[in-house]
Amino acid sequence: MTTVSFKNEQGRITGFTCEGHSGYAEAGADIICAAVSTAVQFATATICDVLGVSCKTKVDEENALIRLSLPAVCEEEDAAQAVLSGMMLTLSALHDEYPDYIEVLEV
């Protein structure tokens, strides 16, 4: 199962951790992993490359782990929050359709 945990501090999403393989299908044919990967890459590219926010990121392909943390002070706060909220809603909708393969948490 893929688990995506959004870190929430006093109503502010400060980042996320995405880990694990969904197990829906074999590598290359797993639509859940493809959807999650797309959402994660979109959010990361938008926040880091488009908005120019200096995020702390970690990618560990061997262990299927991706982590992003926003800085304590973010000049593009509203836009970054919109992107992360949209990602959470997208992945929550995916969970609603495939609850055995993806879990979305707010911690």
Bridge partners, residue 69, by sequence: 15, 56
Residue 5's CB is within 10 A of a number of other CB atoms, namely 16
- Report pLDDT digits (tens) over 22-79: 999 998 899 999 999 999 999 999 999 999 999 999 999 888 899 999 999 999 999 9
- Which pair of structure tokens corresponds to residue 15? 């980042």
pLDDT at 59: 92
- Which pair of structure tokens corresponds to residue 19? 């880990």
Name all domains of the chain by residue range, CATH numbers in brackets: 2-106 (3.30.70.1490)
Mean pLDDT of 90-99: 98
For the whole model, what pTM was predicted? 0.93
CA distances to 9, 59, 80, 102 from 35, rounded to whole Å, are 26, 17, 20, 11
- Report pLDDT digits (tens) over 10-20: 999 999 999 99
